Amino acid sequence: MVHIADVLARRHVPAAGLFLSLTRRCPLSCAHCSTNSTIRSEEHAAAPFVRLVESFTPQSRPEFVFLTGGEALLRLSTVRRIARVARERGSRTVLITGLFFARARGTVPARLAEVLRTVDHVVVSHDRFHAPEVPRAHALDVVAELLGLGVDTSFQLVADGPDDRYIAETVAEIRARFGDRVPALVAPLGAAGRGAALLDAVELIDTLQPGVRPGGPPPPSGPPAPVAASAPAAAAPAPCAMAAWPTVAYDGTVVACCSQDVVDGPAPEHLVLGHAARDPWSLIAERCAESPTLRAIRTYGPELLTDRFAPGCASGGYCTSCLRIGGRPEVLRGAEQLVREPVFLATEALVVLAQTAAGPEAFARRYGVPEYAGLLTLGRPGGTDREPVGEAG
């Protein structure tokens, strides 16, 4: 078994984990779905995913394998096979599910329970976008049943922000029922898939009817404060942990980032690591760890690279600047030059050490909703039991 904080404590380490996007199909139709999944979405052959895991060896393997979708539990035999082989090679598996099977009642069918017991951790997705399809009470009942089966379990919750009332109520119910046993990662609503349209709608509502956004605080009154004009600031170093774990997309393409824009493809060449149907894990892990561009992105961040080697090129934001690197040969050449500099090895090592020392809560603060970061280590030896901010109601 494995605690989710121990998994995310290694999120910045190159090739310490692997994401497998087993299917885009899902029986649910959550309004915020980043993958735009439906029950009719595409699903490719399972063979490449299984083949890649079978290429693991005790000496060359990821520590953790994430099974995602869509809904990974639509491929029970594939989940069972991957979990068994991964465990034989020394890897541990984490499965993310939206609990489609708990729409009518909060129980786990026997066939699913058998498969879920083969993985090392189950992440349950729930928030106000899931609630119309899977009631919160059913999600809590399923988690209680999984814990009774000896399956380590956590929640992944999506919030509009620290004042999201539904998240505050859900966290309160989790703590009331499970105490400090069940951790949670609270992530912000993302602008991907149906979530992008949802964010556009929320922005429109905020504009037309200020203060009615569900769970959101009222906007400040009075005219906006004037913004002083200034020269563009140079990009600061901002290491990217998301470029550390390979992701196998739905069609078997292996990329160096789990961003939905990259997974959906076509991915820029500097983020492509190979294909699960032909490349073994040892080669994918080597490409991930040794690519000069990825090493520079993980150490300095894409905006600094763009700013340094393509000055005057508007980045369009952190992730957009990374996607655009593929079309800027001067940035690719600059990254190769950068990693050959004597100081780079020391800087790269110090960045990894700093991220390791900061721990999983730092990851949750940066990539999740910071006010709820302490929930990630609940139930972990030496973890926190502090109360989350934000009250229900």
206 exposure class (CB count in 10 Å sphere: 0-12, 13-18, 19+): middle
pLDDT of residue 311: 82
Q: Do residues 291 and 246 lie in contact, with contact meaning Cβ atoms separated by under 8 Å?
A: no
pLDDT of residue 161: 78
Q: What is the pTM of this model?
A: 0.87
Residue-wise pLDDT tens digits, 96-153:
999 999 999 999 999 999 999 999 999 999 999 899 999 999 999 999 999 999 999 9
353: its two tokens: 């050490």
Q: Do residues 100 and 26 lie in contact, with contact meaning Cβ atoms separated by under 8 Å?
A: yes
Report which DSSP code applies to 321.
Answer: H
Whole-angstrom distance, CA of residue 368 vs CA of residue 348? 24
Three-state secondary-structure class, residue 185: strand
Q: Which of 179, 199, 130, 186 is nearest to 156 (CA)?
A: 186
pLDDT of residue 259: 87
Cα 189 from chain centroid? 12
pLDDT of residue 288: 97
Could you say which residues of the chain have pLDDT below 50? 201-232, 385-393
41's CB contacts (< 8 A; 6+ apart) are: 23, 24, 25, 26, 35, 70
pLDDT of residue 192: 64
Can you name the residues that pair with 157 across neighbouring β-strands?
Answer: 186
Residue-wise pLDDT tens digits, 18-44:
999 999 999 988 777 777 777 888 889
Per the listing, tokens 């020391």 go with 346
pLDDT of residue 30: 79
Q: In one letter, which amino acid is 99?
A: L
pLDDT of residue 382: 65
85's CB contacts (< 8 A; 6+ apart) are: 50, 53, 54, 56
pLDDT of residue 204: 40
List, in order of start, the domains of the chain with CATH numbers. Answer: 4-217+359-377 (3.20.20.70), 291-340 (no CATH)
Q: Angle at which helices 302-309 and 318-325 pack, to 10 degrees?
A: 60
pLDDT of residue 363: 93
Can you name the residues that pair with 17 across neighbouring β-strands?
Answer: 64
pLDDT of residue 348: 95
Whole-angstrom distance, CA of residue 2 vs CA of residue 199? 34
